[in-house]
Structures are given as C-alpha cells and as structure tokens.
Amino acid sequence: MRISGGDARGITLVVPKGDAVRPATDGMRQAVFSSIAARVPGAWFLDFFAGSGAYGLEALSRGAAGGWFVEKNARTAACVKQNIGAVCKSLRRAEVNLTVAQSDVLDWALPSGAEVPDLVFVDPPYDLIEGIAPKLFARLSEMLAPKLNPVIVFEMPGEITLAPEGWTSVKRLGKGARQPTVCFFRKTSSLA
C-alpha cells in the first residue's frame, strides 16, 4: 500500500500483520481525494480508526497542515508513527502538528485550544459501524461545532446506509453489498 498522490506519492506504508486492519484501497483513496481536492491544502484533519494512517497521510501528502490519528491498538498505532516518519521524510518536513493518540475514538477528545478539524476520516471495522455511528456523529457534532463546513468522510460497506442527526450524506463513492464505499457527510445546516 502506497501514498497515491501529492508530494509523497509512492511512499510505501507499513500495515500490521494479521487481519486487525483493513486498509482503504489506493483506488478508493484516489477517488476520495479527487472529490475533496480543493479542501485539503491547509486543512486540519482527524483520522479515526487510523489503521495504517493512510487517509490522514494522504491528506498530508496533498498539503494538509496537520492532524490527529486516533487508533486503539498499540501495535497499529506504532505502525502509524512509523508511516508518519516515512511520509514526513519524503516531504522534508518535521513531524510537527501530527499526533498519534492510542485511544478508543469514543473516549478521545480534541485537546483544549487545538485547531478544530476541517476533515474527518472514519474507517471503522465494518461490524462496529451501526452500533457506534450514532454516538460517533453526536461527538463529532460537538467537536466540529465551531467549523462552518466540515466534511466527514466515512468508509462503510455498500449495504449500510447512515442517516445521522444533523448530518446529510452529499455523495457516495463505490457500490455493491459487502463492497467498500465512502460517504461524504456535511452539516445539514451548512447545506441551506
């Protein structure tokens, strides 16, 4: 698995062995970033269920200012740190404004005084989605309240449809049951 675009294109990302991580495919990430290309430069991001950190690192490669990677598994979080090092080396930038938090996403809070994310990438284990989605969107509504028009990029299988309170799905990439798809959510109030 590699960074698919931007200044760190081609950098290989480390993925922990086993089936604990289901990385977003290169093709899916390319489609996602084609859809949000104008929003990425200078943006702050949040990568929930970070896995390899591919979504956040793809944003960094394409000009994002910085962000947070939240990953519960210690071994996987270590892979994210290793991948941050490789991407930052390629970009010739210091590893500043990039934080890996080993935490459950429902327990993690944006540090006081921190920049509120413009983009949130959510790529949870598929079997958890329907159980955590309402709580997760409620937390993100609070966290992202200061932002006028944040975007949540949520990867899920094609047979799941989410209708979170206060959020509207404005686009969906991919199709088919049991196939990866990505939904883009915006605040309902920002669509008026």
pTM of the predicted model as reported, rounded to 2 decimal places: 0.94
Q: What is the CATH number of the domain that holds 68?
A: 3.40.50.150
**pLDDT value for 190:** 63
Q: Among 167, 157, 180, which residue's Cα sits nearest to residue 29? A: 180
What are the tens digits of pLDDT across the range 38-71?
A: 999 999 999 999 999 999 999 999 999 999 999 9
What are the tens digits of pLDDT across the range 95-111?
A: 999 999 999 999 999 99
- Which residues make beta-bridge pairs with 98? 67
Residue 2 lies in a domain: no
Collapse the DSSP code of 157 into the 3-class scheme (helix H, G, I; strand E, B; otherwise coil) and give the result. strand
**pLDDT value for 143:** 96
Collapse the DSSP code of 84 into the 3-class scheme (helix H, G, I; strand E, B; otherwise coil) and give the result. helix
Q: How far apart (Å, rounded) are the C-alpha atoms in residues 31 and 35?
A: 6
Domain span at residue 53? 26-191
Weakly modelled stretches of the chain, pLDDT under 50: none
- Token reading at 191: 């669509």
Residue 125 lies in a domain: yes
Q: How far apart (Å, rounded) are the C-alpha atoms in residues 34 and 191?
A: 21
State phi, psi for 174 to the nearest 5 degrees: 90, 165
Q: How many domains does the chain have?
A: 1
